Amino acid sequence: MAMTSDPSVSFDESETRHDEMHSTIQEWLDDLAAGVDDARTSEQFEEWLDVQSRFHDYSHRNTLLITLQCPEATKVAGYNTWRSEFDRHVKEGEQAIWIWAPIITTRCPECENSPSYHEQSECAYDETPPAEWSKGLVGFRPVPVFDISQTEGEPLPDLDTAAVGEADELVPTLLDAADDLGVTVRVVEGDDWTHGDSKGVCKYQSPPVVEAKSRSNQADLATTLVHEYAHALLHSGTIAEDERLKREVEAEAVASIVGRYFGLDTSRSAFYIAAWQGDDSGVLQERLGRISATAVELIETLTAA
């Protein structure tokens, strides 16, 4: 696995870039699957979580690519976007960060291929001509982007990207968001808490019920609420006991991403990714995808509140 503290991954050769991007992601996942009980692997997982919190609306495949090429990235955009929209210019000699961009074009309603690929396929659809087909996703292509640190020019405008940044405001927003998330939530005073040392619980019923123990540390309460919301969104209907620890890692990872997005310090979170021992790279990719999608849902719900 590439040492992301000293990134060595690059995709300079255009003829092999597409395949190398795929294979590099696969190698990262394979190494994660093979070394989930290794401390260095845990650090790399933490590094991906940090990048995912900064680029929460990117797919986990793209945040993996950013992590492997430039883990310090904070804001990325294409060469022309930096120039035309922000009056900034990419410095001479800077190396591009390659990510996947969707290809949107007219596509066959049946095989969902573009007209050129449709002609080469065995699809027999001919009810409407290609000129009348609607547009949709037909694939992905590598595109170069650059981090703001690789550019110079006009300073970026001050953007309030975190609608709620302080934990004292985040907790009420989390409580107000419960209905939108389809969750019933209760904050229980210490004298009435009946769940031992647990900070929070999620009861998998319809709708799911989240309970959190009241405490003075609002940042800790906020991350507990996010953790239990993640359980409600991810794991309702999952009863396999051998998945319990694996579910805990997923929920804590979501809480870490969301907490970091809102400026909370989640560095004390415990990621026992050794619980994923035995999962192959395909299963791990599904887990990262679920973590990413759930964090996006929570961030978008909270910022819209």
Span 228-269, pLDDT tens digits: 999 999 988 766 666 777 888 899 899 989 998 998 877 666
Percentage of the chain beyond pLDDT 70 is 89
Please check whether residue 60 is in contact with residue 288, taking contact to mean a CB–CB distance below 8 angstroms: yes
Lowest mean per-residue pLDDT among 5-14, 78-87, 158-167, 198-207:
158-167
As beta bridge partners, residue 152 has 89
* Burial group, residue 64, by CB count within 10 angstroms (0-12, 13-18, 19+): buried
Average pLDDT over residues 127-146: 86
Give, for 84, the enclosing helix (H) or strand (E).
helix 79-86
* pLDDT tens string 49-98: 889 988 988 899 999 999 999 999 999 999 998 998 888 999 999 999 99
Nearest-10 Cα torsion for 214, 217, 219, 223: -40
Enter the DSSP assignment of 127: S
Asked if 230 and 294 count as a contact pair (C-beta separation under 8 A), the reply is yes
Name the band, by pLDDT with cuts 50, 70 and 90, for residue 163.
very low
* Range in 32-41, 74-83, 119-128 with the lowest mean pLDDT: 32-41
**Which pLDDT does position 64 carry in this prediction?**
94
Query: Which pLDDT value is given to residue 127?
Result: 83
Average pLDDT, the chain: 85
